[in-house]
Amino acid sequence: MSQDRRQFYRIDHQVALEYRVVPETDVMNSARPYQFDVSPHFLLLGELQALDSETGHLLRKIGESQPDIAAYLKLINTKIDMLANSLVSQELTDTSGLRLKSINLSEGGLSFDSNQSLRQGDYLALKLVFPENHLGLLLYARVQRCAPTKDGFHIAIEFFKLTESCRTLIARYILEAQARERKQRLGHDA
């Protein structure tokens, strides 16, 4: 059962990934990595989606008693999302400066191949870009495993100090990617 669950919440995917080994003190003294030069727009969609998750129950409650106001608020939210997508799309879809990398992603961490060896226990600052939905994340992680391969090393990392809203964003992204894959498979089978 636990193996089935592990497989269900995991995807192989292409993302733009950048990482840096950082001292433990950096990780313990900051909530989010500051080691990358990113624009103020980089985290915008993630932060808006986190706010949507936090306020969703309020909107549903308003909808029960005042459906017109709830419909209006949903339209305002859609406008904000459109503006944010417009601001972020150019920055995050231009991945020419970033290298796409195959990763295996779960809610708790990810694995990837690298030509650089890392030590188990090393702390990393991560910059992840999911090009399909313009989502950018800055996260901390800890190296769980570094195994030699014929072309370099296979690195497995566990997210560290991950906020619940960030975990929810990753889980939602995984579920959406799995749904897209199922839809594509069904389209090819038809």
pLDDT one-digit tens code per residue, 40-74: 777 777 778 778 877 888 888 998 999 999 899 98
pLDDT tier, 132 (very low <50, low <70, confident <90, very high otherwise): confident
Lowest-confidence region among 102-106, 141-145, 185-189: 185-189
Residue 77 covered by a domain: yes
Contacts 24+ apart (CB under 8 A), 39-45: 39/91, 41/87, 41/88, 41/91, 42/88, 42/91, 42/92, 42/136, 42/138, 43/136, 43/137, 43/138, 44/84, 44/87, 44/88, 45/84, 45/85, 45/88, 45/133, 45/134, 45/135, 45/136
Domain count for the chain:
1
Q: Name the token pair of 77.
A: 């939210």
Residue 88 covered by a domain: yes
Q: For 50, how many CA atoms within 13 A lie in the half-sphere containing its CB?
A: 14
pLDDT tier, 7 (very low <50, low <70, confident <90, very high otherwise): very low
Residue 130 has pLDDT above 90, yes or no: no
Residue 5 has pLDDT above 80, yes or no: no
pLDDT tier, 125 (very low <50, low <70, confident <90, very high otherwise): very high
Residue 33 covered by a domain: no
pLDDT value, residue 122? 96
Residue 167 has pLDDT above 70, yes or no: yes
Residue 54 covered by a domain: yes
pLDDT value, residue 4? 44
| pLDDT over 70 percentage in the chain | 88
pLDDT value, residue 169? 84
pLDDT value, residue 77? 86
CATH number at residue 126: 2.40.10.220
Residue 32 covered by a domain: no
Could you list the residue range(s) of the whole structural domain that residue 181 is in?
A: 2-27+39-189
Q: For 23, how many CA atoms within 13 A lie in the half-sphere containing its CB?
A: 3
> What are the two backbone dihedrals, phi and then psi, of residue 63, each rounded to the nearest 5 degrees?
-60, -30
Residue 48 covered by a domain: yes
